[in-house]
Amino acid sequence: MIIDRIFREFISVVRENKRYTIGLLSDEGVVTSCSDESQIGRKLDLTWQDEHNIYYPVVVKQQNFGYLWINGSDENLEMMSSLIRESLVVRLTYEITENNLRQNFTQDDRLIKLILDEKEFDMDQILDLAHEMNLDRNKTRVAILLYDEKGFDEKRTMKMKLMPGGNESIVSLLDRTTVLCFKNVPADLPEEELKACVMKFLKTMKDLDIGGTACYVGSLQKKFKNYKSSYQHCLWLRENVPVKKEQIVFLSDYLYEFYFSRVPLQDVSNVYDYYKDCSKGIDIDELVRICDSLTQNNFNISQTAEELFLHKNTLVYKLKKYEDTFHIDIRGDFKGRVLFVLISSSLREYQKRRQVGEEL
């Protein structure tokens, strides 16, 4: 038991001072461990406290460790007893917290491994473990992926479990440079408040020297089976969004780009390549530039023309040309605009592939 190991250390210190004897008593008052071995097994009356014998109950984190007995004939007995007692309680608190942290961290690792398991996703196992960890399965959580090129160490990461609400977060060191945390957040928060909540959490982590060089925040989830998606959103952000040092990136700011990246552009090219090939002289780079600017300006022709330093009529002329080439209505029809953005994306891909020398 933890108390036996720690109390042995206390005994060896107290033995250096002949004025005091310390012992650990059971609830019944039987000496189980003592700096004076001849006292072991003796039964003491816990209700009989005098100027030579002081007893303190030792209860730490709701665990009962019996009684601490301090005996001495010194005038400082009371002060010394109090110091020894406080040191014992603090040390036990320290060791129990460390143990719990280590244990929780291992359980968090196991849970995250189960959640991310591609082949053998087992919901029953996940729920059993979550129950064992006293995790509230109905809490709203969001995946936060922290990346630090210098690397994290396990001790540093374990601190996250000590943060307020840390027992409801699930944290795991995925590899040397990456920490994944499913952070609990209040349900039904407006977008901006949610961001503020996550940023406050990350700032506290940074103050405590746990911040990474980049941080990606996925989607909100309420069901364990969807946590993996939130993690995958973080991975998508990491692969597709360039970040500055210590920048925090939220999926909610990149939903348009995220969904667009999911469209199979090959299907778009399969239809529109024919028209592109028929029309000679379409400047692909220019089309992509115009499309990007139109998207940013909500398809407002005047603003787009101004941004691109074009005369409005020149822009209209170019758009008409695209409309004729691809048989779509960019200026008047919502569906036509969506198709134009898709065509632009497929042509952007085409240009990229051509630039790296792929034969098309």
Partner 1 sequence: MSTRVMLARVDKRLLHATVALNWNQFIKVDYVAVVNSNYDNDPFIASVMQLCLPGTMKVKTLSPDSFLDFMQEGEEHSFTSRRVMVLFDSLATACECVEKGFYVKEIQLPSPASRLVIRTLSDYFSEEDIKRIRFIQKHNIKLFFQTSPFDAKDYGSFCK
Residue ranges that bind partner 1, judged by CB under 8 A: 9-10, 13, 16-17, 80, 83-84, 86-88, 90-91, 93-95, 97, 159, 162-164, 204, 208-209
C-alpha to C-alpha distance for 346 and 189, rounded to whole angstroms: 37
- Choose between 22 and 251: whose C-beta lies nearer to partner 1: 22
Tokens 């942290």 belong to which residue? Answer: 101
DSSP state of 251: G
CB of 253 to partner 1, least distance (A): 27
- Choose between 201 and 231: whose C-beta lies nearer to partner 1: 201
CB of 42 to partner 1, least distance (A): 24
- Choose between 99 and 240: whose C-beta lies nearer to partner 1: 99
Element (H, E) at 143: strand 140-147
CB of 82 to partner 1, least distance (A): 10
CB of 155 to partner 1, least distance (A): 8
- Choose between 99 and 314: whose C-beta lies nearer to partner 1: 99
CB of 157 to partner 1, least distance (A): 12
- Choose between 40 and 208: whose C-beta lies nearer to partner 1: 208
Element (H, E) at 250: strand 247-250
User: Residue 185 forms beta bridges with which residues?
Assistant: 140
At 189, phi and psi to the nearest 5?
-80, 140
- Choose between 95 and 329: whose C-beta lies nearer to partner 1: 95
C-alpha to C-alpha distance for 65 and 59, rounded to whole angstroms: 6
**Residue 260 corresponds to which tokens in the numbers above?**
């667009």
CB of 132 to partner 1, least distance (A): 24
What strands, in cross-sheet order, belong to the sheet with 63-72? 31-34, 20-25, 63-72, 53-60
Q: CA dist 254 to 147, 222, 228, 261, Å?
A: 19, 21, 18, 11
- Which of 179, 185, 132 shows the shortest CA–CA distance to 160? 179
CB neighbour list of residue 77: distance below 8 Å, 6 or more residues apart = 20, 51, 52, 54, 70
CB neighbour list of residue 82: distance below 8 Å, 6 or more residues apart = none
CB of 1 to partner 1, least distance (A): 17
DSSP characters for 152-197? Answer: --HHHHHGGGGSTTGGGSEEEEEETTEEEEEEEE-TT--HHHHHHH
- Choose between 164 and 332: whose C-beta lies nearer to partner 1: 164
- Choose between 91 and 331: whose C-beta lies nearer to partner 1: 91
CB of 355 to partner 1, least distance (A): 49
Tokens 């601190």 belong to which residue? Answer: 159
Q: CA dist 88 to 12, 18, 92, 101, Å?
A: 13, 19, 6, 20
CB of 84 to partner 1, least distance (A): 6
- Choose between 14 and 217: whose C-beta lies nearer to partner 1: 14
Q: For residue 140, give the 3-state DSSP assignment.
A: strand
